[in-house]
Amino acid sequence: MENLVARIEEINTIVNNFAWGPVMLILLVGTGIYLTVRTGCVQLTKFGFSMRHTVGTLFSGSSRDHGENLSPFQAVTTALAGTVGTGNIAGVTGAIFTGGPGAVFWMWFSAFFGMFTKFAEIALAIKYREVDENGVHHGGPMYYIKNGLGSGWGWLAAIFAFIGGLASFGIGNIAQSNEIAGAMLDIFHIGPVWTGILLAFIVAIVILGGVKRIGTVTSYLVPFMSIFYVLAGIFMIITHIPQIPGVLWLIVKEAFSFRAVGGGVFGYAIMLAMRQGCARGVFSNEAGLGSAPIAHAASSTDEPCEQAMWGIFEVFVDTIVICSITSLAVLLSGVYTGSLADYTSKGAAAAAAFNSMLPGSIGGFIIEVSLIFFALSTILGWSYYGASCWEYLTHNKTFVMVYKVIFSFVCIIGAVGSGQLVWDISDTLNGLMAIPNLIALLLLSGVIISMTKEYFENNID
């Protein structure tokens, strides 16, 4: 048995090195750069326009009936629920420990171009989605591969859906449940078994109610958890404002450092920072992976680019705001100069950073609570992604209901298990999702460019 596990780990390491390796990262970021250049850098030149037409519409007081579908805001909070997770805390912390302060710059770099990658994904998801007999919208990469590229590409759509369906159990459930169990044990001294049972019950109540209930819950949960974390970050920044310029200079300087690291070749530092920053940035905001478009496709919005602007907002909040707060805490505190082995987990290292930056032990409490909410939101978001993938593959609502029940019970397994191998395999599956999605984005780039230019030519204020 040990030999089998070791063999699985070996194979997964090889595949993971490809899924999150230099070639795939270049393809992920390169797709964003290509689309950005071809469309006139919309995420920068139309940033104000996109903010006015996304968050700026939340106070318009519209009472439109969205039927069985999500409102545009519920769609983005469902997508953010799946996107904003433990990667925003533990993932970013690990990237800095491994890649140094320069990793933060490359995280921002990938996020800038990722804004338009996600814009493109969402626009295609709206354009090529399908409507069932109940008027419910279904979409995502599997649909724009099949309907945009033609039925001859159905095999590629099926590959995406299959990988996404499997990944939902790992990165979208077991890994998150394990983080919640750890936080509940630290804060409330509740055992993992009881945490798993409680979590399974909560998740079942929400996801068995369908996408409308998921959208309703996330529309309250996501803003609350994000504001909670951001306010703590703002307080930390204000109280350490004199040190901020020095940290920002350190990020830029280290991003282009050509020194050797750990006896490695000259220039290895910049390569390590680029890989860690880009990989963790993409892992956090999921731009190019194809997950978030599944949630956005359920929106009641009819205009593809109108909903797609939420994608710009989504990456901005996830990486430029939330991940940056984690980064600044880790760098300002100086904990990254030590060894990650000194802490029980990456989350514990982040907690130590916040503890040193905020009064008393409130910093660690904020991290633990944030991890609980971030992980719970990810479970809810990914439950919908997984259900959509399996429904596409089976066209069987009974099978999907069984999937939801199993998904809920898996929370118990995640809470009580160590889950490292599952985390590693899930991380690999997450990266592999990008391959069919990026192929579709590049082959449909002409459609994306045409839609984008037409929309902004006709809708400039």
Of 151-155, 181-185, 447-451, minimum mean pLDDT range: 181-185
* Rounded mean pLDDT, 356-373: 82
pLDDT at 196: 92
The residue ranges of every structural domain in the chain are 2-54+71-452
Q: What is the pLDDT of residues 254-288, one digit of tens each?
A: 888 766 445 444 455 677 777 787 877 887 788 88
How high does pLDDT run on average in the chain? 85
Consecutive H or E run containing 130: strand 130-131
Highest mean pLDDT among 85-94, 166-175, 180-189, 401-410: 401-410
pLDDT at 373: 86
- DSSP code at position 387: H
> d(Cα 398, Cα 177) in Å, to the nearest integer?
25
> d(Cα 312, Cα 215) in Å, to the nearest integer?
19
Consecutive H or E run containing 374: helix 362-394
* Rounded mean pLDDT, 277-302: 85
Q: How confident is the model at residue 362 (pLDDT cuts 50, 70, 90)?
A: confident
Q: What is the pLDDT of residues 39-49, one digit of tens each?
A: 999 999 988 88
Specify the CATH architecture of the domain 2-54+71-452: Up-down Bundle (1.20)
pLDDT at 51: 85
pLDDT at 264: 47
Question: Both tokens of residue 304?
Answer: 């593809």
Rounded to 5 degrees, what are φ and ψ at 84?
-75, 110
Q: What is the pLDDT of residues 379-399, one digit of tens each?
A: 998 999 999 999 999 989 899
More confident position, 423 or 326? 326
Instruction: Map residue 362 onto helix, strand or coil.
Output: helix
pTM of full prediction above 0.95: no
Q: What is the pLDDT of residues 220-256, one digit of tens each?
A: 888 888 888 888 888 888 888 999 999 999 999 888 8
DSSP H helical ranges for 208-297: 211-239, 244-255, 268-285, 292-296
Q: How many CA atoms lie within 13 A of 321 on its CB side?
A: 16
